[in-house]
A and B are shown apart, each in its own frame.
Chain A
Amino acid sequence: AQSVTQLGSHVSVSEGALVLLRCNYSSSVPPYLFWYVQYPNQGLQLLLKYTSAATLVKGINGFEAEFKKSETSFHLTKPSAHMSDAAEYFCAVSKSGGSNYKLTFGKGTLLTVNP
């Protein structure tokens, strides 16, 4: 069964510091992985997705993620945190639900950015 695990339910960084949010997947076939962000009282917005075309994926707002098959990981990084990055981040995997594909989300990581 395909699933994702996010390590750390809460990550706190200082403004300007590196952001690292961890996601590990469990899959017997090549996974299709996504990172979504949810700002307070809003819906989810796609940051980036892995589609097997490249292992280093660049997304919006300066975020990127690297797919590492040997480590079964797809960690999200940003070199320099900004106050506006404070939000909940979800890693997700797409898998077949029969006639459609379904997104299954990790439990989420809340990122707080301290001034």
Chain B
Amino acid sequence: NAGVTQTPKFQVLKTGQSMTLQCAQDMNHEYMSWYRQDPGMGLRLIHYSVGAGITDQGEVPNGYNVSRSTTEDFPLRLLSAAPSQTSVYFCATADGPNYGYTFGSGTRLTVV
């Protein structure tokens, strides 16, 4: 039982490049979310999903796309990386709104 697996753990991108951050879970949780955490700040919601085929925007969705074709996977795509997207990205899952999130270990992304 791996829980929530995020890959890669570290990534350096050049401005304008695109990439996909992967998030996979083996807990059969319906809820999945992506957050970014900037130094000294809280977590800001990028996109979230309440089940396969259902996604919605969070607080800071611009520059990011998501899809949820399966319960297990919730990839986050950066369309054209910008230095302002330098951050730590966390994927989190929950077994519905009456439960707290289980977080992945995070992806540290630097855009130069």
Question: Do these two chains interact?
Answer: no
Give A contacts to B, CB under 8 Å.
none
B contact set with A: CB distance below 8 Å: none
